[in-house]
Structure 1
Amino acid sequence: MDQALLRALIPTVIGVLVRRGADFAAAEDAVQEALVEAIRVWPENPPRDPKGWLVTVAWRKFLDAARAEASRRQREVRVDAEPLPGEGEAVDDTLQLYFLCAHPSLTPASAVALTLRAVGGLTTRQIAQAYLVPEATMAQRISRAKRTVSSVRFTQPGDVGTVLRVLYLVFNEGYSGDVDLAGEAIRLTRQLAARIHHEEVAGLLALMLLHHARRPARTAPDGSLVPLAEQDRSLWDTRLITEGVDVLQAALARDRLGEFQAQAAIAALHADARTAEETDWVQIVEWYDELVRITGSPVARLNRAVAVGEADGARAGLAALEGLDPALPRYSAAAAYLHERDGDLVTAARLYAEAARAAPNLAEREHLTRQAARLNTGLRR
């Protein structure tokens, strides 16, 4: 049985049920029951129309549940004159489902979980393993999210920006458990790009592809972090880089620049350099200027300062850091790097140790600790 096909059909079938009048929570439950039935039946009796089969079975599951709870829920369910599977189902509701799962009323964590469940087709157990939380905890999170959006109707277009931020959150989680969240985020963003002609959707897809292309070189065999400048670029996936650059160029040609396109342009410049020394830092600073103009993000300003340090020297980079909040994530690491480049090894060692204590993950913490130890060892000689 084609598991990929099943997962791809889930958002469409949920959308059909919601458009027919089911609330989101009930529709998602009914589709999950239909999937269980499909796993049981399809191996020996595969349907000619998988989508139509799932719509029919899921709708019957929904009606059975609705009838059983009609008196308590005080809800009238229309049973007669329903369109047959395949009739009137030409509308693709997947896009609306993206918007629903990224509804502003949800917390980012809930939006991510609901997107992976309803649009991505992952099980609650898979999502829990990926986020390293108990399955019961994730089940509660998803249930609360479903209840929150159950009253939301498909009456207005959703916010593409919110959907993209949710997908980027998924991508940045990377890999854990048996689910590659980076790969899943790329799959979902490809799916979204196929349904909406939007330059920022293309920009995000390009950014993901370009970052993902460097994944094989990001860690050493012992699991330690390898900085971009030290990575073995022969390990980079040139196929993904080529695709990412092509997608980006098509998006930039629409002349409606957004933050994900600007970030992707920076990633493309890194990918284009055969060696770290050949990196076009001047152009990267220019793209960071655009990113800061678009977003005003302090994190973008921080990254720009590092790029300025590469393009114009460490002193210029340190000057660009002035005015930024030292509490910013990775501020100490950036400052440490620039101070080391400027020859102030005592300050750099102290800042590397400070950055290690604030690191968000073990790999980064160990890398920064090694940097501090390296400088301290040199200072003692």
Structure 2
Amino acid sequence: MSTKVVVLGAGYAGAGAIPRLEEELGSDAELTWVSDTDYHFVLHESHRIIRDESVKNKISIPVHDIKSPSTEFVQGEVVDVDTDEREVVLDGDRTVDYDYVLVALGSDTAFYGIDGMAENALTLKNRDDAVQIHNEVQQAAQEATREDPAQVVIGGAGLSGIQSAGEVAEFRDKHNAPIEVYLVEALETIFPPGDAEIQGTLRHHLEKADVNILTNDPIVEATEEEIKFDERDPLGYDVFLWAGGVTGPDALEDVEVENQHNRLEVGQDFQTEDERVFCIGDSAVIDQPGEHPAPPTAQAAWQAADVVGENIANAIQGRPLKRWTYEDHGTLISVGETAIAHEVEIAGMDLPVRTFNSAPAKVLKKGAAARWIAKITDWQRAFDAWDVL
């Protein structure tokens, strides 16, 4: 009887793992791919939709263009993983049996217990979210005047927040719209994971784009009309996007393996304490040398997806599992039409300039997304998406 391998999720981790699993498993296993959407969405370019809704068509890739015909696809929302029965529970009381399961369900937005945040803030975790933000920014602009401009507020000045603020500014400039853009960060600096050099560069480009930056004061409450701070006066808004952090999906809350805030704890081999359950991507807390786990980033998911397929095949055959170590290849961030590159490697070599922008950085950022699309499909599709990346 064939071994049943089930992959949960069509994000970077799941979509990247499917071709590798097909290659590693061949005809020795039955492979099933489960996702609540029938497409893979290039999430790190989702902010582009805020400016232009049509971008969604170029960065949504049907699952049937990624998987082989022999891989079964099941569309449904995962609500639980029952490790005792070895079955995935879907909406509608459906179940999918497994011998081995790869959990790659991504993450949800973390609201940190801030009053009213979950009820009143928009989030940017999928294609529908991006379209909703675009529509609300567009509507707010249509209803605003020069004397009473629309206020668009982005909470959280990490990668997603910065790129979203840049796209709202581009929308404003493209349409000559009466919009004021605010980027709010609880900590003293924007882009907290970065060093002073990249933080300063990003601030310069955001301010050049007329984005108002408010730092060093946390949001303590969000109502339908304004956000309240610990110290400064409340800030009214017409559109409020919260991009302040990630937590694991609710579907993993009751899974009986060690977890942190619904993110499953795994070793460097991606195996949980249940040898039949593997996990990568934002759903996982992946052990690494040193004090910190692998970061919940697209770059980390891409790398892990290359290894996990081989490890699941090794587990089935009783062979030793590979240990994976995350390699940081640098940071690529867009602020509207401008791209900033920081500590980027090319072919394993550091570039002579640590931080730069303009055309070379833009080509690198486009190239990273194009390579990903080509990797899971083909270069023609990547070329077709180039103009919107």
Does TM, normalized by the shorter one, top 0.5? no
TM bucket, shorter chain:
under 0.3
- What is the TM-score with the length of structure 2 in the denominator? 0.25
Structure having the higher strand fraction is 2
